[in-house]
Amino acid sequence: MRWRGQQIGEVDTNALPGLERIDGLVRSVTTPEFAGITFHEVVSRSALNHVPGASAMPFAWTINPYRGCTHACAYCFARGTHEYLDLDGGHDFDSQIIVKTNVAEVLRRELAATSWQHEHVALGTNTDPYQRAEGRYRLMPEIISTLAASGTPFSILTKGTLIRRDLPLLHAAAEEVPVDLSFSIAVFDDALQRSIEPGTPTAAARLDAVRAAADAGFAVTVFLMPVLPHLADSVPALDDALGRIKAAGARRVIYGALHLRPGVKPWFMQWLERQHPELVSSYLGLYPGQSAVAPKGYRTWLAKRVRPLLRVHGLDGSDEDELPMRASRPGPVRTTGPASTTAAPALF
């Protein structure tokens, strides 16, 4: 496909408000292969993002080669981050994608600093590093190689099947440093998946990627998150999901109920009103006002359903609430082959 570029110095009467706020913007490009999507290529000044010490996340550093995500998940936690660019967290988040084209080069410089302590780095905690754009930009191979060469352990969490392209490279990296691979698969009903996650690969395709990663020697974790109340939380639905996860070769499951933070709640509720208006009142009861987390009673009820099924299917598993805080995070544990560490929470 031929990519069309809009250079910074040119006047574009169709430019979206806020693009002048994108630091380091080089050009904006479109292609028929990604109908309705614009990629804004930027020169980034940093690659490593430090997670505030007060955060509950069990890692201190992240890398996000992209901002915005064509997976277009109605529940995506990261939608609010687009508002920092004066873009909205709805359609703009799905269609106006920021691409840090020099991220690996900057990362190499940051990891070479004498102050770098080789702490664990998490990828995929905000927007997916293996969304469709990665097929065009190929940022991940150099990121992986750079982390491994510097002796930095890392984890990847993705809904994308494109990670299969990099499994040989990831296997080689895992011979040098601990590497964790996790897959996010929240919806196993194909019709619901197409509705709520229209840009993601099917659950079957992601399970095939789980199998490929397991066959490559990785102890794969699957994030069964978010569990959608009244849509994917029945015993038959959970039993089917866990059975398919086990059959794909995953070792561990982390599950958790839907979060609706302020930046995503309006967009999710619009989706719910269109697709399942009969559930609007139930969701308003579960997530009233500014409430972002399902009430304790629902989370306890969900755990009572999931835990027996984990045992039935022979899966190690835990609730997201049971994940260790950063201070108590266990050190990496090597397996025979690629390394395994505690997985990072799914945030998208």
DSSP 18-68: TGGGSTTEEEEEE-GGGTT-EEEEE--S--EEEPPTT---S-SEEE-SEES
Q: Taking 60 as the threshold, does the pLDDT of residue 302 lie above it?
A: yes
Measured at the alpha carbon of residue 181, what is the angle toward residues 235 and 342, in degrees to the nearest 5? Answer: 80
Eight-state DSSP code of residue 259: B
Task: Pick 302 or 93 by higher pLDDT.
Answer: 302
Q: What is the pLDDT of residues 127-152, one digit of tens each?
A: 899 999 999 999 999 999 999 999 99
Band (70; pLDDT cuts 50, 70, 90): very high
Cα distance between residue 194 and residue 230, in whole Å: 17
Q: What 8-state DSSP symbol labels residue 131?
A: S
Taking the C-alpha atoms of residue 164 and residue 115, their distance in angstroms, rounded to an integer, is 33
Q: What is the mean pLDDT of residues 329-339?
A: 37
- Whole-number Å distance between alpha carbons of 77 and 263: 7
Could you tell me the two tokens for 77? Answer: 């936690």
Within 248-330, residue ranges assigned H as helices are: 265-275, 280-286, 296-312
CB 43 within 8 A of CB 26: yes
The pTM is what? Answer: 0.86
* Per-residue model confidence as pLDDT tens digits over 13-51: 343 434 444 567 778 888 888 889 999 999 999 999 998
Rounded CA separation 201/188 (Å): 11
- Let me know if 249 is exposed, middle or buried by CB neighbors in 10 A (0-12, 13-18, 19+): middle
Task: Inform me whether the pLDDT recorded for 79 exceeds 90.
Answer: no
Q: pLDDT category, 57, cuts 50, 70, 90?
A: low
Among 17-21, 80-84, 123-127, 223-227, the range of highest mean pLDDT: 223-227
Q: Which two tokens stand for residue 153?
A: 């352990």
Polymer length of the chain = 348
